[in-house]
Amino acid sequence: MIRVLVIGAAGRMGQTVCKAVLDDPELALGGVVDVNSVGKDIGEVLGLEKLDVVVSDDLSGSLESIAPDAVADFTHPSVVMNSIRIVLNHDINMVVGTTGISEENLKEIESLLNTSKSHILVAPNFAIGAVLMTKFAELAAKHFGSVEIIELHHDKKADAPSGTALKTAEAIAANSPAPRKSAYSKEAIEGARGGEYKGIRIHSVRLPGLVAHQEVIFGGLGQTLTIRHDSIDRSSFMPGVTLALRTIDQKEGLTYGLDKLLEL
């Protein structure tokens, strides 16, 4: 049985992760950390019966008292790196689903791993369909000279563009036969053409009612190809999260992207 500690357990994603851990026969919810609902039993926070697992705001203390086998972090870009430093300092494996992890952050994580026995997986998206979408876009990149990405998320998402959109753009750029250049249009309103990554335009939509959605639109001579994925509920991420928690001990060092676990 793999004992899991969830950071950000009182948040919307954190609560969903806690329930997924409770439902998985190979996982056990050993501890929960959050700055909200401190002192409450996580079972009550989840709308379940008491589980005798109390929400704490002391990550270091929880790691030492619980000694989990793995930690799942679904918090906020402003605090995630501090949590990563603490967990890796305790030589505990970690799965990070918090968005906004930058290239500089990944380099720091690799540096931290030089003195840690931890294994860590950082994934922009845990929905298996979203991972496949990125892979399909990577395959299509060889055959279409033009492409734009539209990503749509709920209005509480802290970063733009999404980590999934950036990872998709990176995959497309890396698999393109030549450097890309986006079509030019004079903007009557600044930003109307979205942001740009290596010639790939990315457009971010933030609206209440959305969860996580992305479409990649390729354009060619007399044709277009649209690859789209929709997460209509946060439960869509849970098979990927629980897979990562069950297998993170099999991956050395830093693993970036759920695709590495799916052997794509």
**167 is a catalytic site residue:** no
**119 is a catalytic site residue:** no
Q: Which of the residues 19, 119, 153, 203 is marked catalytic?
A: 153
Tokens representing residue 200 in the block: 């790939």
DSSP three-state, residue 213: strand
Edge-first strand order for the sheet with 2-7 is 55-56, 27-33, 2-7, 70-73, 93-96, 120-122, 254-256
C-alpha distances out from residue 245 to 35, 100, 147, 218, 250, Å: 23, 21, 34, 35, 10
Please tell me the total number of residues recorded for the chain in this structure. 264
Q: Which of the residues 76, 135, 154, 157 is marked catalytic?
A: 157
Tell me if 164 sits within 8 A of 124, measured CB to CB: yes
Catalytic residues: 153, 157
